[in-house]
């Protein structure tokens, strides 16, 4: 997008991702963290960076604001902000567009959008997305691939302008993804326990993957059922009270969820460590902004002002459970035998819970979202040490303030070690994943029609 913007993600960017501007961003890729780069879609703040990628559909423009943006955007904008705006429905012509992309590893992506004018005051716009990607890490025993992605998305907009000074725009979208993701990894450098892992894999009746990393092969003892859902709606209301004053309202509600059931946390064909984890957030926000322009007074020639009030309420729910597999006890008995530790000292009976956590949290943010004044061209000449900056063309005084109150109220937590405020979920990485193959290639075709 731009040289100063960086993007970091886990195997699935929709689930775990982090955006950086000028090298500033959140430390670590954890879905429970809110980033230092604020993400705003149609004026609505998204608390998780993965929500941006869950439904990247039918956007008109992208703006990148660098540096702290706390005055007008509030919290979590220390590094900057990303603003995306959906394509607005039109009252004039019926038109549409489509895009089809085909690539290797079963990569197929199709997008379609259409504008439907109903009358000179009402218009509708719809868009849809469908995509398939089989992944690139191959199971040599079944010739199937791990880390697949199959998102489906739909967006609908309704624009109603009863008068020239009043307009209402309703935007609703939903995105669903059902994958076998994301534990297919390639062993780049075998460790000392690799021979034992290979022996347990053969005991499970599974074929060993290739020892060459460039073959991109892996074997897991079970498939992971990952589901990602993102849905929400926003109502944008604009009222031009006069030629010099306008009132804007943004009302939004969103639900984002991610679950991984049957995760193979040992990343191998041995049945050692398995687990389930879920994360879900409900978010409601309401914002009112009033902007206008004041005329000439004895103190200044003119002034532009902007006032805003913002309320946000978010509820989080995260669960995580790790339990020993059928071969975990055998693994520890053999691994600890060279140290003279008798079998059974390390308790790892099949099905016993290693970590079990249920975390709930709630955060409320309310207060003055933004207060900005711009005063232009004072009539009287200020003293030499005045706060007005001397400028031959004009003199401008800018007063900015931002007052927010944030309340964190966790109301239930069971064995949630290392939690901070509403950050209730921790994520462990047992092995590093390999990079995508360099020989991947895609072809794309785009078209547009209009009548």
Name the E strands within 211-352.
Answer: 225-242, 245-264, 273-294, 302-324
7, 17 contact by CB (below 8 A): yes
CA pair distance 152, 308, nearest whole angstrom: 36
Structure tokens at 48: 């998780």
Provide the token pair at 377. 């061209």
Token reading at 51: 């929500």
Count of H-run helices and E-run strands, the chain = 4, 21
As a dihedral over the C-alpha atoms of residue 381, residue 377, residue 66, residue 69, rounded to 10 degrees, the angle is 90
Q: What is the pLDDT of residue 23?
A: 72
Looking at CATH, the fold of the domain delimited by 5-450 is given as Maltoporin; Chain A (2.40.170)
Binned at pLDDT 50, 70 and 90, residue 127 comes out as very high
Q: pLDDT value at position 362?
A: 65
pLDDT tens for each residue of 368-427: 544 455 544 443 333 333 333 333 333 333 333 333 333 333 333 333 333 333 333 323
Measured between alpha carbons, how far is residue 73 from residues 19, 86, 231, 256, 414 in Å? 17, 19, 23, 21, 34
Could you tell me which of 239, 250, 89 has the C-alpha nearest to residue 164? Answer: 239
Contact between 125 and 96 (Cβ < 8 Å): no
Compute the mean pLDDT over every residue in the chain, rounded to the nearest whole number. 77
Q: What is the pLDDT of residue 75?
A: 67
Asked if 363 and 421 count as a contact pair (C-beta separation under 8 A), the reply is: yes
Q: Is the peptide bond before 256 cis (omega within 30 degrees of 0)?
A: no
pLDDT digits (tens, 9 = 90+) for 169-226: 999 999 998 888 888 888 888 889 999 999 999 999 999 999 898 999 999 998 888 8
Segments in 398-447 forming alpha helices (H): none
Contact 17, 37 (CB under 8 A): no
Q: What is the pTM of this model?
A: 0.77
Q: If we measure between CA atoms, which residue out of 216, 145, 208 comes closest to residue 186?
A: 216
**Contact status, residue 133 vs residue 153, Cβ threshold 8 Å:** no
d(CA 87, CA 113): 10
DSSP 8-state assignment for residue 244: T
- Assign 218 to helix, strand or coil: coil
| Rounded mean pLDDT, 318-325 | 88
> Which pLDDT value is given to residue 239?
95
Q: What is the pLDDT of residue 299?
A: 77
Residue 202's H or E segment, with its range, is: helix 194-203
Quick count: other Cβ atoms within 10 Å of Cβ 13? Answer: 18
Q: Which of 81, 57, 87 has its CA nearest to residue 69?
A: 81
**Above 80 in pLDDT, residue 17?**
no
Domain range annotation of the chain: 5-450
Name every residue whose Cβ is closer than 8 Å to that of residue 312 and which is 6 or more positions away in sequence.
Answer: 45, 283, 284, 285, 286, 363, 364, 365, 366
């Amino acid at each position: 997008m731009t040289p100063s913007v960086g993007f970091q993600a886990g195997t699935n960017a929709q689930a775990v991702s982090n955006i950086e501007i000028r090298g500033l961003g959140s430390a670590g890729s954890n879905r429970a963290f809110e980033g230092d780069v604020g993400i705003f879609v149609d004026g609505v703040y998204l608390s998780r960076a993965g929500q941006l990628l869950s439904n990247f559909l039918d956007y008109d423009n992208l703006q990148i604001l660098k540096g702290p943006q706390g005055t007008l955007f509030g919290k979590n904008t220390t590094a900057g902000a990303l603003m995306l705006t959906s394509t607005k429905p039109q009252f004039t012509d019926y038109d549409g567009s489509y895009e089809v992309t085909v690539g290797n590893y079963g990569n197929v992506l199709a997008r379609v959008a259409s504008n439907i004018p109903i009358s000179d005051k009402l218009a509708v716009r719809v868009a849809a997305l469908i995509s398939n990607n089989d992944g690139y890490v191959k199971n040599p025993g079944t010739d199937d691939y791990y880390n697949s992605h199959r998102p489906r998305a739909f967006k609908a907009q309704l624009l109603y302008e009863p008068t020239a000074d009043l307009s209402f725009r309703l935007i609703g979208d939903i995105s669903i993804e059902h994958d076998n993701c994301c534990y297919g990894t390639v062993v780049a450098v075998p460790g000392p326990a690799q021979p034992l892992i290979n022996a347990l894999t053969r005991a499970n009746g599974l074929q060993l993957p290739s020892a060459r990393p460039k073959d991109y092969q892996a074997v897991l003892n079970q498939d992971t059922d990952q589901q990602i859902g993102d849905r929400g709606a926003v109502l944008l209301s604009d009222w031009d009270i006069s030629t010099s004053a306008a009132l804007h309202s943004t009302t939004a509600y969103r639900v984002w969820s991610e679950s991984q059931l049957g995760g193979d946390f040992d990343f191998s064909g041995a049945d050692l460590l398995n687990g389930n984890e879920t994360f879900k957030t409900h978010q409601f926000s309401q914002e009112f902004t009033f902007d206008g322009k004041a005329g000439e007074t004895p103190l200044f020639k003119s002034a532009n002002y902007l006032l805003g009030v913002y309320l946000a309420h978010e509820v989080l729910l995260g669960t995580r459970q790790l339990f020993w597999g059928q071969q975990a006890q055998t693994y520890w008995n053999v691994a600890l035998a060279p140290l003279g530790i008798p079998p059974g000292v390390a308790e790892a009976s099949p099905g016993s819970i290693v970590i079990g956590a249920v975390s709930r949290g709630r955060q409320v943010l309310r207060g003055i979202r933004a207060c900005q004044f711009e005063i232009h061209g004072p009539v009287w000449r200020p003293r030499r040490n005045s706060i007005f900056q001397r400028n031959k063309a004009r003199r401008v005084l800018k007063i900015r303030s931002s007052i927010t109150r944030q309340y964190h109220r966790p109301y239930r937590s069971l064995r949630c070690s290392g939690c901070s405020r509403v950050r209730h979920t921790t994520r462990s990485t047992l092995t590093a994943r390999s990079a995508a193959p360099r020989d991947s290639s895609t072809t794309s075709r785009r078209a547009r029609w209009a009548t």
